Amino acid sequence: MRPWEKRGYAPVISGVANSNAKITISQNGYVLSSQVVPAGAYQLKNIAPVSNGNITVTVEESDGTKTVRYYPVATLSSLLRTDEINYNIAIGEKETVGKRENSLFFLGAFDYGLTNVTVHAAGILHNNYKSAALGMSKDFGRFGAMSFTANTAVSVFQKTDTNSTRS
């Protein structure tokens, strides 16, 4: 299980602090995180957004100067954080109306999070059915998020007919 702050998609918050600085991250009036970073480049990956909408990042330098930046967040359940991996593997046996056919199937899925993009791959293998899918989910910031998947499948009916589809 992932810790609460690492669940769901969130952009990587990065920047450069000119001195020891307090960084406050908020969304819709709620403070999500507040921490002090040393002077230099910083990268915050442990942010858990509340919902879609802007994340406000306020950097308060040690001399009192404040800078405010906005990170638009639009998320889909299929988006992963950078370098995050999801995978599923299943092996089973087909059963049709109480009749076991002694033929195994294999199902596998893999998702990998890149910066603002998640790539997806999946497949099902069985003697009479094969399916493969490739897809991508993308966060376009203030323009929203989008996901698409291409699928192909081949099935054999009664060991004589073959049907194939793509979507």
Q: What is the mean pLDDT of residues 71-95?
A: 86
More confidently predicted of 12 and 58: 58
Q: What is the pTM of this model?
A: 0.69
For each of the domains in the chain, give its residue range(s) and CATH number, in order of start. Answer: 4-73 (2.60.40.3110), 85-166 (no CATH)
- Rounded to whole angstroms, the Cα distance separating 104 from 3 reads 35
Q: Could you report the per-residue pLDDT of 100-140, keeping only the tens digit for each?
A: 777 889 999 999 999 889 999 999 998 888 999 999 999 88
Which residues make Cβ contacts (< 8 Å) with residue 39, sequence separation at least 6?
Answer: 17, 18, 19, 20, 21
